[in-house]
Amino acid sequence: MKMFKKRFLFKLLIFLALTTNFAFGYMIPLFWKEEGALYFSTLALISLLAGMVILNVKKAFIYLFACLVTGGMLTTVIYILPAVVFGELWRIELALAFLVPILVRGLVISLALSVFVVIIGCFLGQALTGEEHLE
């Protein structure tokens, strides 16, 4: 029972860390207006580290897709939260009209990049630890 709790907490912490990192990665083009190397290098580094920590390619894909989508939702909530607090519907619509194209474009491009880099991270992590998790 104790081992199950540890494993569950470890997986939950990985999920929360990846979601937070992807949300902050999505915020780079929103707040800093940076549309290039910094954004994609940040997502590539996050995906590489995720693959190195998880080691299993199937689980890494599941974590990656779930965290990319959840990070996008978290970014959306953070971005429209001031307008929601003040109850200004026109600002919510304006924020969503600005946010959705940037988020969708970032999601499509970063999905392909992240899949490629997470595979590299899994194999690199397996090579460094000497374990094989190809189930």
User: pLDDT tens for residues 4-44?
Assistant: 788 888 888 888 888 888 888 888 777 777 767 777 888 88
* Residue with tokens 């919510």, as numbered in its chain: 92
Pair 28, 34: CB distance under 8 Å: yes
Residue 8 lies in a domain: no
Q: Which amino acid is at 27?
A: M
Which DSSP category does 30 fall into? Answer: H
Residue 1 lies in a domain: no
Residue 49 lies in a domain: yes
Residue 6 lies in a domain: no
Which DSSP category does 34 fall into? Answer: -
Residue 7 lies in a domain: no
- Look at the chain and report how many structural domains it folds into: 1
Residue 64 lies in a domain: yes
For residue 13, the number of C-alpha atoms closer than 13 Å in the C-beta half-sphere is: 7
Q: What is the pLDDT of residues 47-83, one digit of tens each?
A: 898 888 888 888 889 988 898 889 889 989 999 999 9
Which DSSP category does 133 fall into? Answer: -
pTM of the model: 0.81
User: Whole domain around residue 123: which residue ranges?
Assistant: 14-128
